[in-house]
Chains A and B, each alone.
Chain A
Amino acid sequence: MKARAFSYFRAATIDQALDAHARAGDDARFIAGGQSLVPALSLRLQAPRLLIDITHIDELRGVRREGGYLRIGALTRHCEMLTEASIAESAPLLHVAAPFVAHPAIRNRGTIGGSVALADPASEFPAMTLALDAEIEIVGPSGRRRVKADDFFIDLFETALQPGELIAAIHVPLFRADQRFAFDELARRRGDYALVGCGIMATCQGSRIEDIRISFFSVGNTPTRVKGAERALIGARLDVERIAAAQRALECDLAPPEGDEVPPAMRLHLARVLLGRLLGRLGEGA
């Protein structure tokens, strides 16, 4: 299929991009890597009048440390999660998750801003912003604001972004020596959307867990933190009983939807298995 005809505008600044969006009466879409939007256009699932190319806006680029956070520009591509030293050092969870994001051709174009803005519940990076307690920097007609990842994902493909707003950057708290992390997913084939995936960030005192954030993807309408499981672990040592308690807590934390191939009970089972394996690795200091 071929996309319906649309106009194209390449913005040089954020202001130009926002202005173009407003002038198109919001019948416009921002495009960066286009790895989800272009197929949607080709399938005529979306047919905006105007595409606003934001890939030439310098302000949306770059990765730097800033006030206890790593500021990752929205245009940072998935492949850069693998190659950028400051990400490997200060946001290692993103670094280890990146190879699981689709295939090299997609990682070469797809951007973190686009991935978080789309908020596909099966995507790796949106869920990792939750595990990382990241903040999303948003610019729009009414100015600039930062929204915690916990408050950003609202429902299926619905986020705190208002019409005409753009993600400028993702701010990730700098990784500390007393933290541990783990990531894995269960996908039928390498690069596929996972049946279940999970990322964990834990702050530890010796072998005791001071704080932990566990975020799942492919388990519901949004990336999902499992607070019951987190509570079962905070303040405790990671032993077999605690891991089992966290796995049990998933029953309340998760309510997987009916799937065509994966029934809810199976997804819950896989989530338990994955959580058990990841906590096991975390306990080994993974």
Chain B
Amino acid sequence: MSAPLISLDRPNSYIGRSLPRPNAKRLLAGRGRYVSDLHLPRMLHAAFLRSPHAHAKIVSINTDAARAVEGVHLVATGPDLAKICTPWIGTLDHFKGMTSSPQLPLPLDRVVWSGQAVVAVVAESRAIAEDALELIEVNYEELPVVVDVDGAREVGSPLVNPGSANNVCFRSQLDNGAVDDAFAKASHVVEEEFSFGRHTAVTLEPRAIVADYDPAAGMLTVHHATQTPYQFQDLYSRHYGIPEARVRVIATDIGGSFGMKLHVYHEDMAVVGLSILLGRPVKYVADRIESFVSDIHARDHRVRARMALDARGGILAMDVVDLTAIGAFSTYPRTSVVEGNQVIRLIGAPYCFRNYRATLEVIFQNKVQTSQYRAVGHPIACAVTERLLDMAASKVGLDPFAIRAQNVIADDAYPHTSPTGYRFEALSHQACLKRLHEIMDYDSLRAEQADLRKRGVYRGIGIATFVEITNPSPAFYGVGGARISSQDGAIVSLTPSGEVRCLISVTEQGQGTESIIGQIVADQLGLAQERIKVITGDTEVTPHGGATWACRGAGIGGETALQSARALKRNILEIAALVLQEQPSALDIVDGEVVDASTRNQRMPISEIARIVYFRSDTLPPGTQAQLTVSHHFAPQGYPFAFTNGIQGCLLDVDVETGFVKLLKHFIVEDCGRVINPMLVDEQLRGGIVQGLGAALFEECRYSETGQLVNGSLADYLVPMPMEMPDIVIAHVETPTADTELGAKGVGEAGTAAASACVLNAVNDALAPLGATINSIPITPARVLKALKRF
């Protein structure tokens, strides 16, 4: 009964169409409602005193003067909140042997990174709270600091967690055998040690929360700039002992999250406790300086990797060691080891080879926590694999395209299981490679490059193939014991006027989730999109679900919307059939009208069905109970993940005198399965690529030897800006997943996954005639000049 999803020439065919986001105008007009915009009656403001030391014992805290400041309502330290909040531990069961210390909103006796919140002040205004902070005296006794990863691993190193045997959080090993044999018989071996700097998300809107505990109702309402309201409903309920049904988390408009806004932050947990202690709403908005020292950081890997190849350039084996440092704790509830785990499992993923060995070691240190951030682990795995492949290509004497064409998994060879155990349903590396070659006009670029070199211009061309993990099943977190849902739910209703409301558990952070859900519902019901209202992000209203992370909104949320809309359509047509004395199967809905399925002749508007059902049920046959509200859940089944793939290309110039890299153009061919809204998919790709380019050239959290972040401001921490960004050329290949009707996979992380690898390869391509190589990200002028021995 449903029309094919791909036909665009029928009414209400919204799947596959570029449509503007309905909420864009509202946000552009300044009518967004962010947590910062909230002013609740009797609301107070929290500010936090932060540790100036990376590791120190708290000897004493004197808050008397702060308490005496007029307008101050509460000064709280670790023990005050520990009385009402149970500790949390950032481990998951499926990461065998991992450890992490219990965490509390504020520390009891020891600080473990510079910038950690130590004391909270709640006052009539943020300014008064900050006045009071200046009057608090904390007496610290400094402890030895663990900063760099080598120092942390030395025997006898100071310990981040006293009482533990060492600074290791987690170790993991993959080995499917015969790796040493493969290397022994290889014709070519390439090897490199790579380093990847720490960076951080830098969302336009910082973290923000208003907690509002009503002691009379025993009810906690939290307005929270988060991707995952249900996860926080569960956590606030369990750690503060409030029944789940009496905890409401509302995710308002959100100004970007990129994975940063789904972790438990000490300040956020503290603010909930402060509201409970005071029985009043308490607001906290991190300022930019605080964000740099308290938002999760990401990456920070050192990878030694080698690749064995046969004489023709066929990959035989890879052998990898990834060391990653994650700060003083593993983040809760998703841990800080998922990134490393994905690094070692995604290395080599696009290619056909058998023998793989990898070791992961995750280390504690006295820095802010790292955790999942856009394209978790992908950029590291991609850069390592793709750089080694380029090194191999030059050794064997193959063009970068040729060596990839030779080694990628063939498009007709699916299903395929990677050497690390990932199961791929269907990928399209060959089609993507071919398309990229075309859109780059690759041969012309190479000819131009050769010309320019004669004139002293060092142009670089780089490509990077990638695989992305999307649509995660419970295999991601659920199996590890985390109460993080991988299913989604929707409630779809026909309103009395014949419009549709869709309440759904996926959330919106600016990427257009609500738009595509509206498109899918309108498409499947046969209604104009303007007649669909999509509501997200309120645990009191929307059904429980996974929300938005790991590229699941379109694939899982979209399928939930599709199935819910089909169910509502069945119910509407059942009533229509009764009224029209037809079989439901003989009817369809087109543009809000019930029509004859075969002739398309209009029979009655669905608004008329709604009117009858809601106001004149007496005119329906006896015993009819119309169901114009449908609730429906969808949990992914089949493959544990829907893998996507693609390939990126990069064109740049290296100024070999200054070490500056100028990006000229970027290309991507991407396969995210069914494209629901091409414009939004392209925006995701562009945004993701820009974040990857930031990582490639600019972004790095730099620390001093004493564990102080030395560039924690937007003047010193460089994010990518429009003037330095190139045009981005986008093309698509569509391989829908057969696990869902919709066939959509995720796309949010694809751009970030390979952009930095692509730049790394292009810079090395540019420097090749000078005999210099780069193996570190970000690629700064200092690193380029060092490689060129210019100073």
Asked if A260 and B702 make an inter-chain contact with CB atoms under 8 angstroms apart, the answer reads yes
CA distance A195 to B784 in the complex (A): 15
Write out the residue numbers on chain B whose beta carbons fall within 8 Å of the beta carbon of A266: 781-782, 785, 791
Asked if B781 and A192 make an inter-chain contact with CB atoms under 8 angstroms apart, the answer reads no
Answer yes or no: B39 CB below 8 A from chain A CBs: no
**Which chain A residues numbered 224 to 240 have a C-beta less than 8 Å away from chain B?**
none
Answer yes or no: B738 CB below 8 A from chain A CBs: no
Answer yes or no: A93 CB below 8 A from chain B CBs: no
CA distance A101 to B126 in the complex (A): 32
Answer yes or no: A262 CB below 8 A from chain B CBs: yes
Given A2-B126, A261-B702: A190 touches B782 (CB 8 Å cut-off)? no
**Which chain B residues numbered 706 to 758 have a C-beta less than 8 Å away from chain A?**
710-711, 715, 718, 721, 723-724
CA distance A260 to B715 in the complex (A): 14
* Min distance, Cβ A114 to any Cβ of chain B, angstroms: 17
Given A43-B289, A189-B723, A269-B785: A1 touches B718 (CB 8 Å cut-off)? no
Asked if A190 and B721 make an inter-chain contact with CB atoms under 8 angstroms apart, the answer reads yes
Asked if B698 and A3 make an inter-chain contact with CB atoms under 8 angstroms apart, the answer reads no
Asked if A189 and B782 make an inter-chain contact with CB atoms under 8 angstroms apart, the answer reads no
Contact among B127, B715, B780 with A261 in the assembled complex (CB-CB below 8 Å)? B780
Asked if B780 and A191 make an inter-chain contact with CB atoms under 8 angstroms apart, the answer reads no
Across the two chains, which residue of chain B brings its CB closest to A103? Answer: B721
Asked if B791 and A3 make an inter-chain contact with CB atoms under 8 angstroms apart, the answer reads no
Write out the residue numbers on chain A whose beta carbons fall within 8 Å of the beta carbon of B660: 186, 188
Asked if B791 and A2 make an inter-chain contact with CB atoms under 8 angstroms apart, the answer reads no
Given A189-B721, A190-B721, A261-B782: A269 touches B130 (CB 8 Å cut-off)? no
**Which chain B residues numbered 111 to 164 have a C-beta less than 8 Å away from chain A?**
125-127, 130-131, 134
* Min distance, Cβ A214 to any Cβ of chain B, angstroms: 18
Chain B interface, number of residues (Cβ within 8 angstroms) = 27
Across the two chains, which residue of chain B brings its CB closest to A265? Answer: B791
* Min distance, Cβ B774 to any Cβ of chain A, angstroms: 16
Answer yes or no: A177 CB below 8 A from chain B CBs: no
Write out the residue numbers on chain B whose beta carbons fall within 8 Å of the beta carbon of A265: 791
Answer yes or no: B438 CB below 8 A from chain A CBs: no
**Digit string of A178-213 for contact with B (CB within 8 Å is 1, else 0)?**
000000001011111101000000000000000000
CA distance A3 to B134 in the complex (A): 12
Across the two chains, which residue of chain B brings its CB closest to A266? Answer: B791
CA distance A186 to B655 in the complex (A): 11
Given A1-B289, A43-B289: A188 touches B718 (CB 8 Å cut-off)? yes
CA distance A263 to B710 in the complex (A): 15
Across the two chains, which residue of chain B brings its CB closest to A262? Answer: B782
Asked if A268 and B130 make an inter-chain contact with CB atoms under 8 angstroms apart, the answer reads no
Asked if B724 and A195 make an inter-chain contact with CB atoms under 8 angstroms apart, the answer reads no
Answer yes or no: B658 CB below 8 A from chain A CBs: yes
Asked if A195 and B289 make an inter-chain contact with CB atoms under 8 angstroms apart, the answer reads no
Write out the residue numbers on chain B whose beta carbons fall within 8 Å of the beta carbon of A4: 127, 130-131
CA distance A271 to B760 in the complex (A): 26
**Digit string of A251-286 for contact with B (CB within 8 Å is 1, else 0)?**
000000000111101101110010000000000000
Asked if B781 and A188 make an inter-chain contact with CB atoms under 8 angstroms apart, the answer reads yes
Write out the residue numbers on chain B whose beta carbons fall within 8 Å of the beta carbon of A270: 658, 781
Asked if B289 and A189 make an inter-chain contact with CB atoms under 8 angstroms apart, the answer reads no
* Min distance, Cβ A160 to any Cβ of chain B, angstroms: 27
Asked if A273 and B658 make an inter-chain contact with CB atoms under 8 angstroms apart, the answer reads yes
Asked if B790 and A269 make an inter-chain contact with CB atoms under 8 angstroms apart, the answer reads yes
Answer yes or no: B443 CB below 8 A from chain A CBs: no
Write out the residue numbers on chain B whose beta carbons fall within 8 Å of the beta carbon of A44: 130, 134
* Min distance, Cβ B696 to any Cβ of chain A, angstroms: 13
Write out the residue numbers on chain A whose beta carbons fall within 8 Å of the beta carbon of B785: 266, 269
Answer yes or no: A5 CB below 8 A from chain B CBs: yes
The DSSP consensus for interface residues of chain B is loop
Answer yes or no: B618 CB below 8 A from chain A CBs: no
* Min distance, Cβ B199 to any Cβ of chain A, angstroms: 14
Across the two chains, which residue of chain B brings its CB closest to A47? Answer: B134
Asked if B791 and A5 make an inter-chain contact with CB atoms under 8 angstroms apart, the answer reads no
CA distance A189 to B781 in the complex (A): 12
Write out the residue numbers on chain A whose beta carbons fall within 8 Å of the beta carbon of B658: 186, 270, 273
Write out the residue numbers on chain A whose beta carbons fall within 8 Å of the beta carbon of B130: 1-2, 4, 44
Write out the residue numbers on chain A whose beta carbons fall within 8 Å of the beta carbon of B724: 189-190
Most chain B CB within a 10 A radius of its CB, from A4, A261, A268: A261
Write out the residue numbers on chain A whose beta carbons fall within 8 Å of the beta carbon of B134: 44
* Min distance, Cβ B151 to any Cβ of chain A, angstroms: 19
**Which chain B residues numbered 680 to 719 have a C-beta less than 8 Å away from chain A?**
698, 702, 704, 710-711, 715, 718
Write out the residue numbers on chain B whose beta carbons fall within 8 Å of the beta carbon of A261: 702, 711, 780, 782
Asked if A189 and B718 make an inter-chain contact with CB atoms under 8 angstroms apart, the answer reads yes
* Min distance, Cβ B290 to any Cβ of chain A, angstroms: 8
**Digit string of B364-404 for contact with A (CB within 8 Å is 1, else 0)?**
00000000000000000000000000000000000000000
* Min distance, Cβ A101 to any Cβ of chain B, angstroms: 14
* Min distance, Cβ B709 to any Cβ of chain A, angstroms: 11
Across the two chains, which residue of chain B brings its CB closest to A276? Answer: B657
Asked if B718 and A268 make an inter-chain contact with CB atoms under 8 angstroms apart, the answer reads no
Write out the residue numbers on chain A whose beta carbons fall within 8 Å of the beta carbon of B791: 263, 265-266, 268-269
Contact among B710, B715, B780, B781 with A193 in the assembled complex (CB-CB below 8 Å)? B715
Write out the residue numbers on chain A whose beta carbons fall within 8 Å of the beta carbon of B131: 4-5
CA distance A3 to B657 in the complex (A): 43
Answer yes or no: B287 CB below 8 A from chain A CBs: yes
**Which chain A residues numbered 15 to 64 have a C-beta less than 8 Å away from chain B?**
43-44
Write out the residue numbers on chain A whose beta carbons fall within 8 Å of the beta carbon of B287: 1
CA distance A188 to B662 in the complex (A): 10
Contact among B127, B704, B718 with A3 in the assembled complex (CB-CB below 8 Å)? B127
Write out the residue numbers on chain B whose beta carbons fall within 8 Å of the beta carbon of A262: 782
CA distance A191 to B721 in the complex (A): 10
Contact among A3, A186, A263 with B782 in the assembled complex (CB-CB below 8 Å)? A263
Write out the residue numbers on chain B whose beta carbons fall within 8 Å of the beta carbon of A5: 127, 131
Write out the residue numbers on chain A whose beta carbons fall within 8 Å of the beta carbon of B715: 192-193
* Min distance, Cβ A261 to any Cβ of chain B, angstroms: 6
**Digit string of B538-564 for contact with A (CB within 8 Å is 1, else 0)?**
000000000000000000000000000
Given A1-B287, A4-B131: A195 touches B781 (CB 8 Å cut-off)? yes
Write out the residue numbers on chain A whose beta carbons fall within 8 Å of the beta carbon of B289: 1, 43
CA distance A208 to B710 in the complex (A): 47
Across the two chains, which residue of chain B brings its CB closest to A268? Answer: B791
* Min distance, Cβ B105 to any Cβ of chain A, angstroms: 21
Asked if B657 and A273 make an inter-chain contact with CB atoms under 8 angstroms apart, the answer reads yes
Write out the residue numbers on chain B whose beta carbons fall within 8 Å of the beta carbon of A43: 289
CA distance A189 to B697 in the complex (A): 11
Across the two chains, which residue of chain A brings its CB closest to B134? Answer: A44
* Min distance, Cβ B791 to any Cβ of chain A, angstroms: 4
Write out the residue numbers on chain B whose beta carbons fall within 8 Å of the beta carbon of A189: 698, 718, 721, 723-724
CA distance A266 to B783 in the complex (A): 10
CA distance A262 to B711 in the complex (A): 13
Across the two chains, which residue of chain A brings its CB closest to B710? Answer: A260
* Min distance, Cβ A89 to any Cβ of chain B, angstroms: 28
* Min distance, Cβ A200 to any Cβ of chain B, angstroms: 18
* Min distance, Cβ B204 to any Cβ of chain A, angstroms: 15
Write out the residue numbers on chain A whose beta carbons fall within 8 Å of the beta carbon of B657: 273
Write out the residue numbers on chain A whose beta carbons fall within 8 Å of the beta carbon of B782: 261-263, 266
* Min distance, Cβ A142 to any Cβ of chain B, angstroms: 36
CA distance A273 to B656 in the complex (A): 11
**Digit string of B770-786 for contact with A (CB within 8 Å is 1, else 0)?**
00000000001110010
Write out the residue numbers on chain B whose beta carbons fall within 8 Å of the beta carbon of A195: 781
Write out the residue numbers on chain A whose beta carbons fall within 8 Å of the beta carbon of B127: 2-5
* Min distance, Cβ B700 to any Cβ of chain A, angstroms: 9
CA distance A43 to B287 in the complex (A): 10
Identify 6 new A-B residue pairs, CB closer than 8 A, beyond the known A191-B723, A263-B782, A266-B782. Answer: A3-B127, A190-B723, A191-B721, A260-B711, A265-B791, A270-B781
Q: Offer 19 A-B interface pairs, CB within 8 angstroms, sorted by A.
A: A1-B130, A2-B125, A2-B127, A5-B127, A44-B134, A186-B660, A188-B718, A188-B781, A189-B698, A189-B723, A190-B721, A190-B724, A191-B721, A191-B723, A260-B710, A266-B781, A266-B782, A269-B785, A273-B657
Enumerate the 7 nearest inter-chain pairs by beta-carbon distance, A residue then B residue, closest first.
A2-B127, A190-B723, A269-B791, A265-B791, A273-B657, A266-B791, A260-B710
